Chain A
Amino acid sequence: SFSSFLSSFSEQVRYLQANSRELNSTFGYPNNTIKTSRYSVFNFLPLNLFEQFQRLANAYFLILLFLQLIPQISPLAWYTTVIPLMVVLSITAVKDAIDDVVKWLFGLLEDKWMNIQVGDIIKLKNNQPVTADVLLLSSSEPYGLTYIETAELDGETNLKVKQSISVTSNLEDNLGLLSSFDGKVRCESPNNKLDKFTGILTFKGKNYTLDHDKLLLRGCIIRNTDWCYGLVIYTGPDTKLMQNCGKSTFKRTHMDHLLNVLVLWIFLFLGGMCFILAIGHGIWENKKGYYFQDFLPWEEFVSSSVVSAILTFWSYFIILNTMVPISLYVSVEIIRLGNSFYINWDRKMYYAPKNTPAQARTTTLNEELGQVKYVFSDKTGTLTQNIMIFNKCSINGIIYGMHETEKVDFSYNKLADPKFSFYDNTLVEAMKKGDHWVHLFFLSLSLCHTVMSEEKVEGKLVYQAQSPDEGALVTAARNFGFVFRSRTSETIMVVEMGETKVYQLLAILDFSAVRKRMSVIVRTPEDRVMLFCKGADTILCQLLHPSCRSLRDVAGEGSLRTLMVAYREVDNAFYQAWSKKHSEACLSLENREDKISDVYREMEKDLMLLGATAIEDKLQDGVPETITTLNKAKIKIWVLTGDKQETAVNIAYACNIFEEEMDGIFIVEGKNDETVRQELRYRWENCHNLVLRAFLGNLKCGCVLVLQAYALEGNLELELLRTVCMCKGVICCRMTPLQKAQVVELMKRYKEVVTLAIGDGANDVSMIKAAHIGIGITGQEGMQAMLNSDYAISQFCYLQRLLLVHGRWSYNRMCKFLSYFFYKNFAFTLMHFWYAFFSGFSAQTVYDTWFITFYNLVYTSLPVLSLSLFDQDVNETWSLRFPELYDPGQHNLYFNKKEFVKCLVRGIYSSFVLFFIPMRTIHNSVHSDGKEISDYQSFSLLVQTALLCVVTVQIALDTTYWTLISHIFTWGSLGFYFCILFLLYSDGLCLMFPNVFQFLGKAMNTLNLPQMWLIIILSVVLCILPVIGYRFLKPLFWPADVDKTKLRHTRPRRSSYAFSHKQGFGALITSGKTMKDKVFKKNISSNVPEQSASSPSGLCASWEI
């Protein structure tokens, strides 16, 4: 049977033996490191160069370099390409290296667990994260129970319990036994299914079946368990967590893709020009060059003008190479790097309590931050703080906590929790006065729960609740004077206003997602049988006694999770009869669940309303405001959570993703393709009608869709997309990490928009990796999200600053930079084209070789750099106050193909002006001493100086934010050009290398020409005035519109019930398993079977030993 079991595995099987490193090492399992860096010392240079040359432009320049080495076709010296290429490659390499070292350093921090290997037995302590996927062997708790929190994995905040198999739980913490444990495990190969695990443990010749209840996954945190031992099954990349992380891809921005397309266009344009010029050359050689051979004979290998034309094609290919801007990519990288530093440096994104600044971990995505259209957010830890606060309560129709006064002083209560705070003194007064209803209310809170208490130091109680909401309720009762002190499986000890009372616990009617309530039945010291119940308002209302129908609403705000509390005094005889029925139901084999819930229903009726509680699921600071602002910026926000629907919807209301006036909330939760399809179609029609009606009637309306994970399965993508895109807010619940990524992928695939994913836990990693931009929330436990993110911030509310200020600026700067960059290169290069018509298409350059080498690298790089590092069209205050300004980025209006063509046209025009004005001016023109000035070198100098002046004035015009640095860079570069000119054309340098520096004495001779300055003025005016005119007239013809949004406020009633509780703990408590008291443990351990039988609900335990 064992072999057949093994054969049921589809592929490989993992074998391992505990405490046997030799055996396990033969299988070559990976170690526990998680590699985040890309390079190693040895492969850096080849790998980095390879990656760099994959870029079209870099590869092109390499080819160009080889072309230039052929003397027959090369019109330019080799250094014109080599120098810029070297500079560009080395800057990029240095930047990549720094990036990688940073990643590697962060990786090291997690490496303290790197030595863990498969087959090791490790000890885990309370509140420690699990570092690998381990098989639970034993723990400090009875029966090998271990409590874990899985917030990192699925975002759920309630505790879960894992239990070891009994044979290993007996090992306890006996190190001798543990180190001699030699169990063999055969289990499935690593996979990404979080809720599935099958395997077999062979120990002392016996086989034990293993399932996922016995596996602690990496990323979980041990809670309420002092220690536990586990056998490492999967390590490092094999862990289910890492398997769920999705593959790491190198992210490229939309701008990168656009640039690639544009570079391709430029190639085509370049090819076209070279072709035209080559034909021109052929004609010229035929008509003129052939007859000019007395003075300039053809080279030997040139047999006809056609051959010459072919060579010229390549010559022009080299000359016009500056059309493809070599320093484009490196400049883009530098700009992004600079703008990333601004993010790191921003004090307004620095979170003082945790001492964490924002962090740009990827420096290549900045401008995309200004283009985000969809934000996919995690819930727990991202929108919420995962802290529950007892905020308000309504007792017998009186609401407490509405009017904030000073903080309540709980010093009268020695057992009070000092961390608890409440701001309404009237409740305490009522308490002290001995108000019957208030006392009963808090008694019910202190009895009706599944919390366990721990009192290591006398008077210092520590509660361990399976959900933070419940903990908050019991703590509230404790502070107000109804202290839940301890429990056994049959009793609950409560200190009521200093007086200790013991209640006999008769039954726990456990919580379930369907029932949405839980009850306890106790026998009071006065020998009355009481039922206390708490649950969702909508459910509980139907169970109330007809006499109490009045209900006061405590759910004033969206973020409150409300529960109603009710009680019922039960007749002893009725209880006995019910108890019998209950036992029968629990023992029945068929339809047990239904029968039990029928029995429960019988008991939970005719309840008397005590009141209601409101627990605030504390949102992170500024979350609703941030979401409102982002909504105004037309950014759609989706919540993707692994949590339950109720809690997710509740939070969605709390943080303004859903608004009260929204017309419809749709829940799609079919279990198979067809039902989901129908549901989606129906919703779509609904939405459509709503939107249509809204459009006609000018009503503000929005649809909201709550998606369950099932809806994502099957081939429903288009259907889903169609519906989802109609909705104003979308919430996806019960998502596995991989499904989160699938949603993001879906949007990426079908919509040409920029997506952003933000999350804090390991369960968000896959979505963070999948989205165009991944943002990790730092400062929480666990770093997986941060390590895989592109940007790390410590508060959700920093997102608005990151997007609306930094993103917008980065985008605007990048667009300005690109427009200007292409323009200046076109203006620069196309001059050669015009000159071809006057130089026999001979691939003669217009400029000095040195000017070609330095133009992009030195003369024009700093001004555009200062523009793209300092420019601000509007300041941060306006950016945040008018989120509408974010809109152009989402539609990529500032730099697209159209803008590129504009740059091209502008470049053509400028080069035309810049060529023909000097040309006509110096034609047959002489200096005032009669010496001619129409020589080639003077012409070069004239044209290049005029060009530099024009592009400098152009950037001055583009700059809207003139800092001192901008002034220095812009005008300094121009001044620097003249200095370099005198240096390059100086006697000394020219005499040392006469063939390299040929322009001796040119600077002096030409710069004192009046024509020179007249040409510069004329060219500047001719090139710039049309631009000024265009910029002046454009806003007059097409004014930018700013939408005015009006908000209306109406609040319909809705159930605000949300409780992160889970079924099963009631049974666990009454079975006595959780009792830590050793004495007690010994008592019951002898009679576990009877205990289970005697406690009615203990039979219904959902797990078996």
Chain B
Amino acid sequence: MTWSATARGAHQPDNTAFTQQRLPAWQPLLSASIALPLFFCAGLAFIGLGLGLFYSSNGIKELKYDYTGNPGTGNCSACALADQDRAPPLRCSCAWYFSLRELFPGPVYLYYELTNFYQNNRRYSVSRDDTQLSGLASALRHPANECAPYQRRASGLPIAPCGAIANSLFNDSFSLWHQRQPGGPYVEVPLDRTGIAWWTDCHVKFRNPPLVNGSLALAFQGTAPPPNWPRPVYELSPDPNNTGFINQDFVVWMRTAALPTFRKLYARIRQGNYSTGLPRGAYLVNITYNYPVRAFGGHKLIVFSNISWMGGKNPFLGIAYLVVGSLCIIMGFVMLVVYIRYQDQNDEDEDAE
């Protein structure tokens, strides 16, 4: 006779919860008793959180100064003008004077801020060689192709550190001076230039190549500094623990920003008398103006700021939480009204049937 399923031993399927699709399950329903309280609770929680965030952000003090030097804006305009013919005279200096009427509570952080600077441009942000920066000796003299056109100098020497990011290293420098008494002398406020980069960055990710005969300079032999740099990478700082690829300014700069307007930490003020903040009095920031930004319409700013548990001043989150919280409550009320009305109507319909 013909073949039938029996012959091949097709069996009765297993009687398990899985094969019979009877797995025990929790079946939540979106009922009014869940949805409405959810909206109200979320709304209240958000308003509470929003208020907290808003006030904590408002409590942060921030002092900003735009020293780009556009004509008629302070004494950096001279440097800025010099900047226009593309070769800023070395050590063009300018200053920003400000006075504090009361204590600027500490710890105070000094940032520089750049606007209109597209560190997040794809071609810019890939123009680096992390292998080289990790201190691998072989990679030092063979920069990755991504670094082009800052891969090799015209002479053929490999550039270290290669790439557009490194080449465009921010090279303005600041010093802060405090005049304790009116008419008194300006005393330099100590700026802590270490501990401004992430620990993982300057201890793991960025490493100098192995020293040759105990000298970093020899280790970098056969490489050239990026074209914009006045001095090679091993001379970035006299401090041997803060020079070369692990120079903190450099490391901070290499961590590219997500947005075209960004701040980067320049120094922390936490030493001596200034550990509690900047006391009242007149101040002077001495700026060494090197970095050209006016060509592409950028701005350079100095920012003093202190910090809360939440970080820096940014009222956005607080406001957003307040707005969303209020919306939740409004929506909750709307839903409640609709629910009551339609519930009644549906009941009537059913009664009518």
Contacts and interface: CB of A to CB of B under 8 A. Distances in A.
Contact of B149 (A297, A783, A932, A963): A297
Nearest to B164: A296
B2 interface: yes
Interface string A977-1017: 00000000001001100110010110011000111001100
Most B CB contacts (10 A, CB to CB) among A295, A346, A783, A1028 go to A295
B42 A923 contact: no
Interface string B308-347: 1111101011001100100010010001001100110010
B107 interface: yes
A306 interface: no
Interface in B201-251: 201, 204-205
Interface in B128-175: 129-131, 133-134, 136, 144-145, 149, 164, 167-168
Interface stretch (B24-32, B65-73, B93-101, B178-186): B24-32
Contact of A964 (B19, B23, B127, B196): B23
Contact of B28 (A75, A842, A962): A962
B310 A1010 contact: yes
A991 B122 CA distance: 23
Nearest to B19: A345
Contacts of B42: 1021, 1025
Nearest to A351: B5
B131 A296 contact: no
A291 B297 CA distance: 8
Contacts of A1011: 310-311, 317
Contacts of A917: 320
Interface in A1037-1055: 1037, 1039
A127 B1 CA distance: 8
Given A75-B122, A932-B265, A1021-B46, A926 B312 contact: yes
A926 B130 contact: no
A578 to B, nearest CB: 48
A296 B130 CA distance: 19
B26 A962 contact: yes
B69 to A, nearest CB: 17
Contact of A924 (B38, B53, B124, B312): B312
B296 A288 contact: yes
A938 interface: yes
A294 B328 CA distance: 49
Interface in A780-825: 781-783, 794, 809
A823 to B, nearest CB: 18
Interface stretch (A27-35, A327-335, A354-362, A401-409): A354-362
B274 interface: no
Contact of B30 (A299, A939, A998, A1028): A1028
Interface string B1-14: 11111100011111
Given A109-B3, A294-B295, A839-B122, A1032 B257 contact: no
Contact of B25 (A110, A963, A1032): A963
Nearest to B3: A109
Most A CB contacts (10 A, CB to CB) among B19, B123, B262 go to B123
A937 interface: yes
A920 B27 contact: no
Given A288-B296, A931-B198, A960-B28, A926 B118 contact: no
Contacts of B23: 870, 963-965
B333 to A, nearest CB: 12
B111 A345 contact: no
B179 to A, nearest CB: 25
A1014 B53 contact: yes
A960 B265 contact: no
B200 A1000 contact: yes
B263 to A, nearest CB: 5
A839 B131 contact: no
B58 interface: no
A924 B14 contact: no
Contacts of A966: 25
B307 interface: yes
A1028 B314 contact: no
A932 B111 contact: yes
B20 to A, nearest CB: 6
Contact of B5 (A779, A809, A845, A1021): A779
A905 interface: no
Contacts of A1033: 335, 338
B103 interface: no
Most B CB contacts (10 A, CB to CB) among A71, A919, A928 go to A928
A936 B122 CA distance: 11
B119 interface: yes
Most A CB contacts (10 A, CB to CB) among B13, B196, B292 go to B13
Given A296-B164, A842-B118, A923 B316 contact: yes
Given A939-B258, A990-B205, A1022-B324, A931 B265 contact: yes
B254 to A, nearest CB: 10
Contacts of A932: 111, 257, 262-265
B91 interface: no
A888 interface: no
Contacts of A1028: 30, 35, 38-39
Given A920-B316, A921-B316, A1036-B342, A1029 B311 contact: no
A1064 interface: no
B197 interface: yes
Contacts of B21: 342, 809, 870, 872, 876
Contact of A934 (B6, B167, B201, B258): B258
B276 interface: no
B320 A920 contact: yes
A838 B296 contact: no
B31 to A, nearest CB: 9
A334 B160 CA distance: 51
Contacts of B328: 1021, 1025
A139 interface: no
A839 B120 contact: yes
A1001 B205 contact: yes
Contacts of A246: none
B307 A923 contact: no
A1005 B255 CA distance: 13
A930 interface: yes
Contacts of B307: 926, 928-930
Given A1014-B317, A1032-B35, 6 more contacts: A839-B121, A925-B314, A1022-B324, A1028-B35, A1032-B335, A1037-B338
27 contacts: A289-B118, A292-B295, A341-B19, A346-B19, A347-B20, A355-B10, A778-B4, A842-B120, A919-B258, A922-B258, A923-B261, A924-B312, A930-B307, A932-B265, A935-B258, A962-B26, A963-B25, A1000-B200, A1000-B204, A1014-B49, A1014-B53, A1021-B42, A1021-B328, A1022-B324, A1029-B39, A1029-B335, A1036-B339
Interface of B: 1-6, 10-15, 19-21, 23-28, 30, 32, 35, 38-39, 42, 46, 49, 53, 107, 109, 111, 113, 116, 118-125, 127, 129-131, 133-134, 136, 144-145, 149, 164, 167-168, 196-201, 204-205, 255-265, 268, 292, 295-297, 305, 307-312, 314, 316-317, 320-321, 324, 328, 331, 335, 338-339, 342-343, 346
A-B interface, 10 closest residue pairs, ranked by CB to CB distance from nearest: A1001-B200, A939-B258, A345-B19, A994-B130, A926-B312, A295-B168, A356-B5, A291-B296, A842-B122, A1036-B342
